[in-house]
Amino acid sequence: MSYCVNCGVELEETARKCVLCDTEVINPKKAAEDKKLPHFADEEYIPDGISKKFVAYVISMVMLIPSLVCILANALFFPDTFWSLYIFTTGLLAWVIFVFPFFSKKKKPYLMWAFDTVAVLIYGLFLFRMLGDEGNIYIKVFLPLAVILSAQMLIFMLWAIGKKRHIILKTLHVFVDFAVFSLFCGLILSAGLGIKIAGTIGIIIFVSCLCIIGFLAYCYKSKSMRRYLSKRFFT
C-alpha cells in the first residue's frame, strides 16, 4: 500500500500520479524495475539498432561455407585440378569489397577505395597467373582497365562525398563514366588482344550513352521536366 507524499491519499499500486492533487508518484523500487531491459524472449522486445559486425560475421560465414565445400570436393573428387581456388579467390574479393567495410566503425571511403583497388589488382594477377598467362593480358588489358575504373571511382567520390548533388546529376555522372570506360575498354581490347570488333562496339556504346547523357542534361536544366519526373517516381 502506498500514499501520496503531498496530500496523503491512498494510491493504487499502478498509479503514476495522485488522483486528488496530481502529484507525481515516485517509487524508487518501481523506477529501478522500469529501467530493466525486457528479456530477449519477450515478443515485444525490439532492439534499437542492428550490430553491423554481427551481420558481417553472419555474411562471412554464409560466403565461406560454399568455398569450403568446393575446396573439399576439389580435393576428394578432382585432385588433378585447382578449380576451387577460382571460387575461393572470387568470394574473397567479393568479401573484401562488400563485407569488410562493415567491420569499420567509421566510414572511410578513400581508404576503402585504395584497399579495394589493391585487392582487385592482386586478384587479377593471381587469376591470370593461374590461367597460365605470362603477363601479356594482365598488363595489356586487365591492368589499364582496372586503373581507369579505379580513377573514375575516385573522381566520383571527390565530386559527390560531402556535397549535396541532385539525383539526376549523379545519374548523369554515372553514364559519363560508363561511356568513357566503354570507349577505353573497346580500344584496349582492340589494341591489346587484336579484337577489332571490340573498338566498334565500344564506340556504339559510347554514342548511345551520349544520347542518354543529353536527355539527362535536358531533364536537369528543365524545371518542368524535373517536377514531372519527381511526381512520377516519388508519388
Give the pLDDT of residue 134: 58
Query: Residue 17 phi/psi, 5° resolution?
Result: -135, 155
Torsion of CA 26, 30, 34, 38, to 10 degrees: -170
| Number of Cβ within a 10 Å radius of residue 233 | 8
For residue 192, what is its C-alpha cell? 591489346
Across 156-190, b (16+ Cβ under 10 Å) vs e yields beeeeeeeeeeebeeebbebbbbbebbbbbbebbb
The model carries a pTM of 0.66
For the stretch 88-146, pLDDT in tens is 888 988 998 888 888 877 778 888 999 999 999 999 888 888 777 656 788 888 999 99
* Average pLDDT estimate for 166-174: 88
Q: Which residues contact 6 (CB under 8 A, 6 or more apart)?
A: 18, 21, 23
Residue 45 has pLDDT above 70, yes or no: no
- Percent of the chain at pLDDT > 70 equals 84
Residue 16 has pLDDT above 90, yes or no: no
For residue 9, what is its C-alpha cell? 491519499
Give the pLDDT of residue 155: 94
**Residue with more model confidence, 178 or 23:** 178
At 33, the amino acid letter reads E
Residue 31 has pLDDT above 70, yes or no: no
Give the pLDDT of residue 28: 55
Residue 54 has pLDDT above 70, yes or no: yes
Q: Cβ distance 88 to 67 under 8 Å?
A: yes
206: Cα within 13 Å, side-chain hemisphere: 14
Distance, CA of 228 to CA of 56 (rounded, Å): 40
DSSP string, 114-173: HHHHHHHHHHHHHHHHHTT--SHHIIIIIHHHHHHHHHHHHHHHHHHTTS---HHHHHHH
**Residue with more model confidence, 24 or 182:** 182
What's the whole-number average pLDDT of the chain?
Answer: 82
